[in-house]
Structure 1
Amino acid sequence: MANAPHLVLGTAGHIDHGKSSLTLALTGTDPDRLREEKKRGITIELGFAQLELPDGRTMGVVDVPGHERFVRQMIAGATGIDVALLVIAADDGIMPQTIEHVAVLETLGVPACVVALSKADLVDDDWIAFMSDEIRSFLQNTPYAQAEIIPVSSVEGTGVEEVRAAIQRACSGVEPARQHRALRLPVDRVFTIKGAGTVITGTLWSGEARVGGSVEVLPSGKTSRIRSVQMHDTPVEAACAGNRVALNLPDLSTSQIAPGDFLAEPGTLATSDRFDAFFTYLDTAKTGKPLETGARMHVAHGTREVLGRVLFCDGKKALASGESTYAQIRLEEPLPVASSDRFIVRTYSPVQVAGGGRILMAHPRRRTNLTDVDRAMLDALRDGDIATAVQAAVEREEFPASAASLARGLGLPAEAVSECLKATAAARKLVTLQAEGDTLYTTRRVVQKHVSAIERALLAFHAKNPQAIGIASEDLRRQSAPRCSASCFSALVREAEAAGKATHSGGHIGHPSAQGAAAAAIDDAATALLAVLDAEFATPPLRTDLFTQAGVDPRMGDKALNQLKRDGKVTKLDADLFFSETAIQKCAQAVRTYLEEHGEASVADLKDALGTTRKYAVPLLELLDARGITKREGNMRTLG
């Protein structure tokens, strides 16, 4: 049975109905570990044990409190449960916490249930039959309508093995906990072991906890390596999803992690202050009142409970008990939620279970009016159709998005989202762009929209700046797509270039139709400047005088000079001094002729040979030195 799925059994039921006694009878472990629990005879905190099934498999057991004051711990315990053991005392019957606990189990999506009709030794067979009918009627409209009902007495030991066998049968139809996903674990206990340091316990929701691995604590973001892993007091190298585990985290103190925190594989999960959900209202208190949108509630997820508001979508004002709708839950403290997680809500005051549901989108925009695309995405997430949900998520994005960002927004595993995107793009239903080594996904409509925006911004720029060859990329981004990242915008500009709506030139982006006229103007200016530099030979005018002599506007002149430099027709010797390449070649020939005749020469000799002044001769000769035409030795120069 080594390959059998690891499942978790959770007890549920009213206070003093015998959950802990039955757990002791089934497992041999007393889950009431606190002195106060022993003294008062009730479970205050979560207790844990291990159950061996008839076929040799083992299950982790979470024994949860039944008293109304400890419903919060019950919710924490029910998180991650695969099979519920609902304990109802035969002499008491269905009680308020019985109703509330079943509502929690149903809302958290616990798939299977076995009912233990405890304290059967206190009543006769007729009463057992009557109570069984009452329970069957109570469960009729829940997912547990077909649950087995087993009379049992923990005191006499009767029915215990029948309960064990019924639990095994219930397990047969239960899918194992989610596999092949990143590690996620809600923390339910934190303590210190001398010589080891901080230890936490919890039910491993997904992924694998392995010795030497790393975990991130949310919401704090602190990290730690895992020094050791235990399952049911037994050291192991690794534990997979579905197991109760204890992890030794030596890099954290008990002040840095607490019950209610969440462990995750680093970088795979982000907290959110809101989420979209399919929400069901359950009036467990039987008030008869509908739940109004915007109600402030206690929101329980994993092992943490925070305050938040439940806002119904599409203008729905209220829900009657048993009704469901799409809702956005806005939290007063962030939670590390993911798609398909379950949550519970309890009324603000008095505190009573009032429903809950399944998280669909982990990082939605703040909105309650759903577009057609929003609804299609939520419908797909609700149906478990990841491919359709991912497609809808891409369609609602304003800009091309990476697989990682889409996965974070949806709260889905990045690997699954990436596979869906690749398949959809291969089917030509999506467009892919490359940005700084990452693949971005979008629709053709979004690309066309942004290419048009880029073109409009370029045409507007050229209308105001007819002589400009283009605009800087960052300025263009601010004008046409200010909320777009720089890398994504560069990818969109490349699409605009491919469509003939933009072109790069000298680090600037322009529109091809307007850029031609600007380029022609720059060419004309360059020709005029070059003519002056060629004519002046070894005594060219400085930059400002050069523009004046050539009759060129200074702004256009700088662009023309830059173009001449790129083309290799002009060389800049200092901030305001430029020589044409033709003039440099003439000067080089004059210097070469003089040195061939005289062997060596000073700056004074060569300036006379060039017919120029020292102001021009010195930088010119340094240029010839750099090119290897001349060689300086002290104050004299020879041929290189």
Structure 2
Amino acid sequence: MSDTYFTIGMAGHIDHGKTTLTKALSRVDTDRLKEEKERSISIELGYAPLQIEEGVNISIIDVPGHERFIRQMIAGVAGIDLVVLVIAADEGVMPQTKEHLEILEFLGIEHCIVAISKVDRVDEEMLEFVTEDIKDGLAGTIFHDAPFVYVDGISRRGIDNLNQTIISELKLVGSRDAYGSFRLPVDQVFTVKGQGTIVRGTTYEGIVQQGSQLRLLPKDHKVRARQIQVHHEEQHIARAGQRTAINLGGVDKDDVRRGDVLVASDHFLVTKTIDVSLRFVEELRTSVKQRMPVKIHVGTSEVMGRIVFFDRNELKQADGEILCQIQLDEEIVVRRGDRFILRRPTPVETIGGGWVIQPEGGKYRFGKATIDMLQNKKQSTPEDLIEDVLSQHTLLDVKQLIQYTSLDEHVVNRAVAEGLEAGYLIEVNRQTYGLTKTFNKIKDEIISRLENYHQEYPMRLGISKAEIVQMLSGLYSKMMIEYSLNQLVQKGNLDKEEQFVSLAGFHPYLPRQWKQRMLEVINTLDKDGVTVKKWEEYITGTLLSKHDADELALYLVQTKQAFRIMNDRLIHRSAVDAALAKLKQQTDETFDIKEAKDILDVSRKYLIPFLEMLDQLKITTRIEDERKWMSNSENLEGGEHNEL
């Protein structure tokens, strides 16, 4: 083992020798307060470094054993990798020993060493009796096969054996995530003269460097790590698993409290409603009722809230796993998988614990459907969670995926990479992702709408891209719709001309029942050349409705068979071509209105609109009283007036 960092907790009943044992291991007296020394009991959490083996860096947390200080105990053990359960040889298993055991189990602490302390006070017969009593007490718990060591903190008997046992157990513990986003729940806040605000806590995950810009949640204060210490030694960096003190710039002591969380990214959510998997203690003194006030301990925070059941209104005794919700009075910071303890405020007792399924719970109906939904979320893999949130939100970037799934950054990145390779995820934009099935839904929706549109409006090029985006924006994100349109064009499912989108191979056509009459209108328009009448005059007597007449005009303009010369007039393309040919042949680089009038032999009534249309088409440009031919004067494809 090398360059590894762990935190171990000393837990157990009051006056069973935890602090003395910590001092024997580390040479550090963790009772700092005057009251602690006067009363010989631990009131606040105590901390000490332990160096047993090269490269193995251990922080010891000595937690109070008195029932009045159970909140400190919970805050202390919440971030540990291994617990040393200290039980005095002359007393054996006591009430707080049992409660500490329940709390450790609820918090998911998997690795335990049982240290039978004060062995110098008893004979072998008593020691054997106490050992059997402890084994009976651990039977049926997660610690039933925990190793036993026999120690005495004063005489140092068994300390070497305890050291070796700690090393052996830590080899079974997975190292903390130093690659995730930095997170440190604060359990102590104080000031040092000339230094400012200092916070302490166990680094849960990630690393922090001196000078790092950090955020203090839930109030979201922007702070800077001015100085970092690990067990009173200044460091430039602190890692997951280390006991860390950070001198913060940018915040006053009065704005920080135990339970706040120091983070280095904006991936973490602040919440007041959490969906949870909960288990209760075997023997409840009184039943737990719907919306009963409870106190939740998670990380180092302690917050009041109410328990919300979805499959019952009362619980009288332990009933396995309960999927429910905690609605909190204050905001907290949690991630999926975080463990918590639930206590009843009155009568004061630990009633259960569990883990967070979803940090940002919603409003759900009472009944089986909600339980099934929570069960699915509970059992979900990272891939399942990503698919679930993308089904709800269509399109999310990596930061949002981390927030909504409450997964570690590297877990999300790995799952996304696998999803892209497997083909169920698509990268819509840089590090912004959606589901392939969402793309397929949008594809089917677009194709269906275009099929109906082409039937209803056969003379139109198609639907404008902006109109399609608007049609579907209530169902999907704009970026996802645009991505889908672009993909469908690239893959040949759709054609795109200017801003219009159509099914591949579709071309506007005259409806069969009106085709002959419409062709007659087009021919008449062609014959009139430049001297066109109002469009409604061409329609008179044809039996075409106003709608059909408007559609025909749009068809001619969109297919570039005609151009709009005024709001109420069209000119056939052949007339424009013929007039342009005459003008080009009989004018130089520039020409004026008189020259054009003589060449085309039309009145100013028709000439002026025609010349203004050429300006709009960017075939000519007007310079005072003359017009100059543009470099693209042969081009009749452009012009904003063609876009209706």
Scaled by the length of structure 1, the TM-score of the pair is 0.80
Instruction: Report what 2:640 is aligned to.
Output: none
- Deviation, 1:202, is 1.5
Task: For 1:525 and 1:373, locate their aligned partners in 2 and report how far apart those are by CA, in whole Å.
Answer: 62
DSSP 3-state at the match of 1:14:
coil
Q: Decide whether aligned partners of structure 1 residues 57 and 625 sit closer, same or farther in structure 2, where only a CA change above 3 A counts.
A: closer
Would you say 1:241 and 2:240 are equivalent positions? yes
Instruction: Report what 1:281 is aligned to.
Output: 280
Task: For 1:595 and 1:175, locate their aligned partners in 2 and report how far apart those are by CA, in whole Å.
Answer: 88
Would you say 1:397 and 2:384 are equivalent positions? no
Map 1:58-457; keep pairs closer than 5 Å. 58-283=57-282, 286-287=283-284, 289=286, 291=288, 295-311=292-308, 318=315, 320-321=317-318, 323-363=320-360, 366-367=363-364, 369=369, 375=375, 378-379=378-379, 381=381, 386=382, 389-390=384-385, 393-394=387-388, 397=391, 404=398, 405-423=400-418, 426-427=421-422, 431-437=424-430, 440=433, 442=435
- Deviation, 1:268, is 2.4
DSSP 3-state at the match of 1:230:
strand
Asked if the contact 2:460–2:555 (Cα under 8 Å) also holds between the matched residues in 1, the reply is: no
Asked if the contact 1:153–1:159 (Cα under 8 Å) also holds between the matched residues in 2, the reply is: yes
Asked if the contact 1:31–1:63 (Cα under 8 Å) also holds between the matched residues in 2, the reply is: yes
Task: For 1:312 and 1:460, locate their aligned partners in 2 and report how far apart those are by CA, in whole Å.
Answer: 48
Scaled by the length of structure 2, the TM-score of the pair is 0.80
Asked if the contact 1:339–1:361 (Cα under 8 Å) also holds between the matched residues in 2, the reply is: yes
Asked if the contact 2:210–2:236 (Cα under 8 Å) also holds between the matched residues in 1, the reply is: yes
Q: Decide whether aligned partners of structure 1 residues 137 and 606 sit closer, same or farther in structure 2, where only a CA change above 3 A counts.
A: same
DSSP 3-state at the match of 1:226:
strand
- Deviation, 1:634, is 5.3
1:203-261 deviation line (CA, Å, top 9, x unaligned): 11112222344433332344344333322222333222211122333244435543212
1:162-215 deviation line (CA, Å, top 9, x unaligned): 433433333232222234322222122233445554332221111222234443
Instruction: Report what 1:23 is aligned to.
Output: 22
Q: Decide whether aligned partners of structure 1 residues 486 and 623 sit closer, same or farther in structure 2, where only a CA change above 3 A counts.
A: closer
DSSP 3-state at the match of 1:245:
strand
Task: For 1:215 and 1:523, locate their aligned partners in 2 and report how far apart those are by CA, in whole Å.
Answer: 71
One-letter code of the match for 1:65? P
- Deviation, 1:60, is 0.8
1:318-355 deviation line (CA, Å, top 9, x unaligned): 47337334444444444332232211111242232122
Asked if the contact 2:8–2:83 (Cα under 8 Å) also holds between the matched residues in 1, the reply is: yes
Q: Decide whether aligned partners of structure 1 residues 560 and 275 sit closer, same or farther in structure 2, where only a CA change above 3 A counts.
A: farther
DSSP 3-state at the match of 2:369:
coil
DSSP 3-state at the match of 1:8:
strand
- Deviation, 1:74, is 1.6
Task: For 1:536 and 1:122, locate their aligned partners in 2 and report how far apart those are by CA, in whole Å.
Answer: 121
DSSP 3-state at the match of 1:335:
strand
1:475-506 deviation line (CA, Å, top 9, x unaligned): 76777783432233445667888999987676
- Deviation, 1:100, is 1.6
556-565 vs 183-192, greater mean Cα deviation = 556-565
- Deviation, 1:72, is 1.8
Task: For 1:88 and 1:406, locate their aligned partners in 2 and report how far apart those are by CA, in whole Å.
Answer: 45
1:279-330 deviation line (CA, Å, top 9, x unaligned): 22114xx445554565442222211122344455666964733733444444
Q: Decide whether aligned partners of structure 1 residues 541 and 437 sit closer, same or farther in structure 2, where only a CA change above 3 A counts.
A: farther
Q: Decide whether aligned partners of structure 1 residues 615 and 233 sit closer, same or farther in structure 2, where only a CA change above 3 A counts.
A: farther
One-letter code of the match for 2:102? A
12-21 vs 362-371, greater mean Cα deviation = 362-371
**Pairwise CA RMSD:** 4.5
- Deviation, 1:155, is 4.2
Asked if the contact 2:9–2:84 (Cα under 8 Å) also holds between the matched residues in 1, the reply is: yes
1:515-564 deviation line (CA, Å, top 9, x unaligned): 97788899999867755554443343456667769886666666655554
624-633 vs 409-418, greater mean Cα deviation = 624-633
- Deviation, 1:50, is 0.8
1:126-181 deviation line (CA, Å, top 9, x unaligned): 44433333222212222222334444444444444443343333323222223432
Unaligned runs of 5+ in 2: 631-644
Would you say 1:537 and 2:536 are equivalent positions? no
Asked if the contact 2:78–2:299 (Cα under 8 Å) also holds between the matched residues in 1, the reply is: yes
Q: Decide whether aligned partners of structure 1 residues 54 and 255 sit closer, same or farther in structure 2, where only a CA change above 3 A counts.
A: same
Task: For 1:639 and 1:281, locate their aligned partners in 2 and report how far apart those are by CA, in whole Å.
Answer: 88
Asked if the contact 1:432–1:439 (Cα under 8 Å) also holds between the matched residues in 2, the reply is: no
494-503 vs 79-88, greater mean Cα deviation = 494-503
DSSP 3-state at the match of 2:334:
coil
Q: Count how many residue pairs are aligned between Structure 1 and Structure 2.
A: 626
Q: Decide whether aligned partners of structure 1 residues 345 and 463 sit closer, same or farther in structure 2, where only a CA change above 3 A counts.
A: farther
DSSP 3-state at the match of 1:116:
strand
- Deviation, 1:104, is 1.2
DSSP 3-state at the match of 2:249:
coil
DSSP 3-state at the match of 1:176:
coil
One-letter code of the match for 1:356? G
Task: For 1:533 and 1:222, locate their aligned partners in 2 and report how far apart those are by CA, in whole Å.
Answer: 72
Asked if the contact 1:364–1:409 (Cα under 8 Å) also holds between the matched residues in 2, the reply is: no
One-letter code of the match for 2:295? H
One-letter code of the match for 2:408? P
Map 1:484-563; keep pairs closer than 5 Å. 484-491=476-483, 507=499, 531=523, 533-541=525-533, 561=553
Task: For 1:455 and 1:219, locate their aligned partners in 2 and report how far apart those are by CA, in whole Å.
Answer: 47
One-letter code of the match for 2:477? S
Asked if the contact 1:183–1:265 (Cα under 8 Å) also holds between the matched residues in 2, the reply is: yes
DSSP 3-state at the match of 1:69:
helix
1:39-62 deviation line (CA, Å, top 9, x unaligned): 554433322221222567331112
- Deviation, 1:6, is 0.8
| Identity among equivalent pairs (%) | 28
Instruction: Report what 2:637 is aligned to.
Output: none
Asked if the contact 2:461–2:558 (Cα under 8 Å) also holds between the matched residues in 1, the reply is: no
Asked if the contact 2:472–2:481 (Cα under 8 Å) also holds between the matched residues in 1, the reply is: no
Asked if the contact 1:207–1:240 (Cα under 8 Å) also holds between the matched residues in 2, the reply is: yes
Instruction: Report what 1:583 is aligned to.
Output: 575
Asked if the contact 1:403–1:421 (Cα under 8 Å) also holds between the matched residues in 2, the reply is: no
Asked if the contact 1:395–1:442 (Cα under 8 Å) also holds between the matched residues in 2, the reply is: no
- Deviation, 1:65, is 2.4
Structure 2 residue aligned with 1:482, among 454, 474, 480? 474
Asked if the contact 1:533–1:583 (Cα under 8 Å) also holds between the matched residues in 2, the reply is: no
1:87-139 deviation line (CA, Å, top 9, x unaligned): 33444443332222221111112222223334445555544433333222212
- Deviation, 1:584, is 3.2
